[in-house]
Amino acid sequence: VVITNTTGVTLTGATQAVFKDPAVTGLAVNTVTCSGAECPCASCNVAAMQGAGITIPSLTNNSSVTFTINATVSATPPATFTNTATVTVGAATASASDTNGGSGSGAGGSKVRVIKWREVFQ
C-alpha cells in the first residue's frame, strides 16, 4: 500500500495521516512493515493497522510511505475478498479497494493518494 501526499503542505499535528487496513474474513495478516524516509515504524503493529490505525506523524508534500502487508489466505477462503485500506487526514479519507485484485481510487476530496496492489503466486 503506497500513501502519497500531494496536498502541497506537510501533514503533521492536527492534519497527520492515519493508515488503516481492517481484518478480512479468510485472510490472516502475519506482518506489516513500511519503508520510505517518513516511515513511522520499521516493524509496524498488525493490531494497530486493523484497529485504530497507524499514525504517520509527518508526511511532507510529494513524499510517500509504502506499507508491505504479508498475509495468508485460509485453507477454505470465501469466494470473494473485499479489502479496503484507508488513510484519514483530518475529516477527509482516501481509500483503495481490492476485491480480488480490484482498483484504487481517491475519495473525500483529499489530495492524499492510496494505491494498493496484489501479487499472486501459483
The full set of domain ranges for the chain reads 2-115
pLDDT at 30 exceeding the cut of 50 = yes
Per-residue pLDDT of 73-96, as tens digits, reads 888 888 877 778 888 887 777 766
Q: How far apart are CA 62 and CA 58, in angstroms?
A: 12
Higher pLDDT, 34 or 76: 34
- Average of pLDDT values for 60-80? 86
* pTM of full prediction above 0.75: yes
How many CB atoms sit inside 10 A of residue 103's CB?
A: 11
- Average of pLDDT values for 13-19? 89
- Give the list of residues 6+ apart from residue 7 with CB closer than 8 angstroms, or none: 61, 89, 110, 111, 112
Q: How far apart are CA 14 and CA 57, in angstroms?
A: 10
Q: What would the grid cell of residue 5 be?
A: 501526499
